[in-house]
């Protein structure tokens, strides 16, 4: 049983959820177990820790909870179509409820209370120091994770570092904690992660059973991400000290991971389908393929992304034309800028960065779904209304191909257990490149981008893999953001990148305005038997029988991200519950999230 996949068992054995399970492990009657008894045994303490993992590890796209955290962030950018009040411009004070307004173990503060209770119990336990350090460090990682969720939504929040009493007048008064500054919140996150880095192993003893457990490199990589946010324009002007802190953290993360045999996977597309031997997977949420097993924890991503007509798929996560156009050509130059490879919209698939065909499935693409090595995807019109295939065609003209396991039969896709990789080694390199650019070390930035492009299969050319030589610092920042868009496409990162760079208005409202898809329509001169002969045609030959057009997806409104959305309002009920809380500037309050 892989460590983070314990669900039913932890529900029975975890002290935080004890109800009536008996005869487990040492034949203890856990229905009568106390905190003192549970935390005398590292195995039982680890079962409690499993519950914290299960509560806090993000799922696909980085989705992490209720409220805003339950939204696939890909639909809030230019890469996947989806309607949202955040793009409609109708967000109200009570729209983002991730702060928590009720006593609920599933909201952010409820999860933090569970973590703080665990930390207190570990600190008071008679376990050896080494065991306590291991347990405490993993819990501190997740406390940092929860506060990071807060700080990127609201800025500074009350820092609760000990479990508050639940009842009584004095307990109520003690819970009236004011908001800490954004700087103090970031500092606490970093402090928790520094402890985790200090005491966690670089690798756990058993790669298979400990797959998904937080290690030193994961904590260091997350710290680098946190400090990159803190240095980004959402939080600060161009602050040299913050860029330096982010750069040092990124160097540390890469050094720790490299020393423990992490690195880029040889294959951009196959990296999703290896587990214990996957050297690119830094922070992982484990799923499994069990169909009837009571411990099953299936991933809905694979089945949800497959075209509906191929079996039980849902055809969701459909890439936009904006994302499809963004990918470079095979020489690494943007479409229209390459002197080696001509580009046309109708033949958009030709001579592209190999990551294009491994990320996006398009009309006529060879996509060996369901174990069929010769299967080709078709999604086109046979007139103004009839589609081929006829069952729920892609609205955008594309499907998400990344991380869809073609080895699975249609009947197995609903049980797909593909793990979510929240932090890949590729992101570690991108974070290092960006922070290096921040401190003016453009040579280091070039090195990381070239490594990613080399792995992708882009032509080396003059040795820069299509990157412009001699870029300025500003040009390099743009190049890194572009590389993130391509490398991390459909992984839920694009929205957060645009937000921390405060580019959502310029990209969505001004440049994109309304996201689009494509429509390919079979021409009147196409062979009558095209549906049966298309499989034997070269793709270029098949495309001779299609007309190309774009279509608007955002038909109800133009994209309208507002400046005040960079830091959301606290829900009014939270302020009513705690009169010491100040509302955020821009939402009728005086709390400055930039302090």
User: For the segment 453-493, what is each residue's pLDDT rounded down to a tens digit?
Assistant: 999 999 999 999 999 999 999 999 999 999 999 999 999 99
d(CA 315, CA 59) in angstroms, rounded, equals 19
Residue 2 has pLDDT above 60, yes or no: no
Give the whole-angstrom CA distance, residue 134 versus residue 529. 65
pLDDT score at 26: 37
Tokens of 96: 């983002």
> CA-CA distance, 365 to 376, in Å (whole number)?
5
Residue 5 pLDDT > 70, yes or no?
no
The DSSP code for 398 is E
Q: What are phi and psi of 458, to 5 degrees?
A: -70, 145
Cα first-last separation, the chain:
45
Pair of tokens at residue 413: 């896709």
Tens digit of each residue's pLDDT (9 = 90 or more) over 121-140: 999 999 999 999 999 999 99
pLDDT tens per residue, range 79-115: 999 999 999 999 999 999 999 877 788 889 999 999 9
**For residue 178, what pLDDT is reported?**
96
- Residues 429, 448: contact at Cβ < 8 Å? yes
**Res 405 pLDDT > 80:** yes
Average pLDDT, stretch 335-358? 97
Are the beta carbons of 292 and 298 closer than 8 angstroms?
no
- Collapsing DSSP to helix, strand or coil, 80 comes out as strand
| CA 415/CA 59 separation, integer angstroms | 15
Say what the pLDDT of residue 13 is: 41
Q: Dump pLDDT digits (tens) for 488-518.
A: 999 999 999 999 999 999 999 999 999 999 9
pLDDT at residue 9, as a whole number:
39
- The structural domains of the chain, with segments of one domain joined by +, span 1-56, 301-418+516-552
Residues 6+ apart with CB under 8 A from 560: 87, 88, 89, 509
Q: Is the pLDDT of residue 10 over 60?
A: no
User: Looking at residue 36, what is its pLDDT?
Assistant: 74
175: confidence class by pLDDT, cuts 50, 70, 90: confident
Rounded to an integer, the average pLDDT of 70-78 is 95
SS (H, E, C) 85-137: HHHHCCCCCCCCCCCCCCCCCCCHHHHHHHHHHHHHHHHCCCCCHHHHHHHHH
- Cα-based distances in Å from 151 to 19, 186, 187, 226: 35, 7, 11, 10
> What integer pLDDT is reported at residue 595 of this predicted model?
96
Do 532 and 570 touch, CB atoms closer than 8 A? Answer: no
Element (DSSP H or E) covering residue 326: helix 321-326
CB burial of 235-250 (b: ≥16 within 10 Å; e: otherwise) equals bbeeeeebbebbbebb
Q: Does the pLDDT at position 8 exceed 80?
A: no
Torsion of CA 310, 316, 317, 318, to 10 degrees: 70
For the cut 50, the answer to whether the pLDDT of residue 17 exceeds it is: no
Exposed/middle/buried for residue 391 (C-beta within 10 Å: 0-12, 13-18, 19+)? exposed
Nearest-10 crossing angle of helices 442-456, 425-438: 150
Least confident of 128-137, 386-395, 566-575: 386-395
The average pLDDT across 175-181 equals 93
CA distances from 136 to 18, 284, 451 (A): 21, 19, 36
Average pLDDT over residues 304-327: 91
Name the band, by pLDDT with cuts 50, 70 and 90, for residue 290: low
pLDDT at 387: 75
User: Given CA atoms 164, 170, 172, 173 in this order, what sign does their dihedral have?
Assistant: negative
Cis bond upstream, residue 463 (ω within 30): no
Tokens of 121: 């119990």
- Chain segment 254-280, per-residue pLDDT in tens: 999 999 999 999 999 999 999 888 999
Q: What is the pLDDT of residue 23?
A: 34
Angle at 109 between CA 107 and CA 110, to 5 degrees: 60
571: pLDDT confidence band, cut at 50, 70 and 90? Answer: very high
Average pLDDT value for the chain = 91
Residues above pLDDT 70, as percent of the chain:
93
Higher pLDDT, 31 or 431: 431
């Amino acid at each position: 049983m892989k460590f983070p996949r314990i669900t039913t068992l932890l529900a029975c054995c975890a002290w935080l959820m004890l109800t009536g399970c008996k005869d487990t492990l040492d034949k203890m009657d856990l229905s009568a177990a106390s905190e003192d008894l549970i935390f005398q045994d590292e195995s039982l303490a680890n079962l409690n820790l499993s519950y914290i993992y299960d509560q806090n590890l993000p799922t696909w796209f980085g989705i992490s909870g209720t409220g805003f955290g339950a939204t696939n962030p890909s639909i809030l950018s230019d890469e996947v179509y989806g309607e949202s009040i955040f793009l409609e411009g109708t967000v109200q004070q009570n729209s983002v409820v991730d702060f928590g307004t009720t006593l609920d173990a599933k909201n952010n503060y409820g999860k933090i209370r569970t973590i703080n209770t665990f930390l207190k119990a570990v600190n008071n336990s008679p376990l050896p120091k080494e065991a306590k350090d291991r347990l405490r460090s993993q819990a501190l990682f997740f406390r940092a994770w929860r506060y990071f969720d807060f700080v990127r939504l609201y800025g500074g929040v009350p820092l609760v570092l000990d479990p508050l009493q639940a009842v009584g007048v004095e307990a109520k008064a003690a819970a009236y904690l004011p908001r800490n500054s954004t700087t103090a919140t970031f500092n606490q996150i970093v402090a928790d992660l520094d402890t985790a880095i200090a005491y966690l192993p670089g690798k756990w003893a058993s790669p298979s059973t400990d797959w998904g457990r937080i290690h030193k490199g994961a904590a260091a990589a997350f710290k680098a991400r946190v400090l990159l946010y803190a240095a980004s324009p959402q939080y600060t002007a161009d602050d040299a000290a913050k860029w330096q802190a982010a750069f040092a953290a990124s160097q540390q993360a890469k050094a720790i991971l490299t020393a423990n045999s992490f690195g880029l996977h040889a294959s951009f597309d196959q990296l999703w389908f290896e587990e214990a031997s996957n050297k690119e997977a830094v922070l992982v949420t484990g799923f499994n393929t069990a169909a009837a097993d009571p411990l099953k924890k299936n991933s809905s991503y694979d089945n949800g992304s497959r075209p509906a007509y191929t079996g039980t798929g849902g055809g969701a996560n459909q890439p936009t034309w904006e994302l499809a156009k963004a990918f470079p050509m095979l020489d690494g130059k943007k479409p229209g800028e390459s002197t080696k490879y001509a580009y046309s919209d109708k033949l958009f698939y030709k001579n592209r960065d190999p990551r294009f065909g491994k990320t996006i499935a398009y009309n006529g693409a060879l996509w060996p779904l369901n174990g069929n090595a010769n299967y080709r995807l078709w999604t086109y019109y046979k007139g103004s209304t009839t589609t081929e295939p006829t069952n729920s065609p892609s609205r955008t003209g594309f499907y998400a191909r990344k991380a869809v396991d073609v080895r699975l039969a249609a009947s197995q896709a609903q049980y797909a257990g593909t793990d979510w990789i929240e932090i890949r080694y590729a992101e570690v390199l991108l974070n290092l490149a960006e922070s290096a650019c921040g401190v003016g070390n453009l040579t280091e930035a070039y090195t990381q981008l070239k490594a990613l492009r080399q792995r992708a299969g882009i032509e080396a050319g003059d040795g820069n893999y299509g990157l412009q030589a001699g870029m300025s610092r500003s040009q390099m920042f743009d190049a890194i953001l572009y590389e993130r868009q391509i490398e991390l496409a459909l992984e839920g990162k694009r929205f957060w990148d645009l937000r921390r760079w405060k580019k959502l208005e310029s990209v969505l409202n001004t440049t994109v305005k309304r996201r689009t898809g494509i429509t390919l329509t079979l021409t009147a001169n196409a062979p009558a038997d095209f549906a049966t002969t298309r499989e034997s045609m070269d793709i270029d030959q098949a495309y001779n029988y299609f007309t190309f057009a774009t279509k608007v997806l955002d038909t109800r409104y133009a994209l309208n991200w507002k400046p005040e959305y960079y830091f959301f309002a606290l829900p009014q009920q939270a302020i009513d519950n705690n009169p010491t809380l100040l509302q955020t500037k821009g939402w009728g309050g005086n709390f400055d999230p930039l302090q």
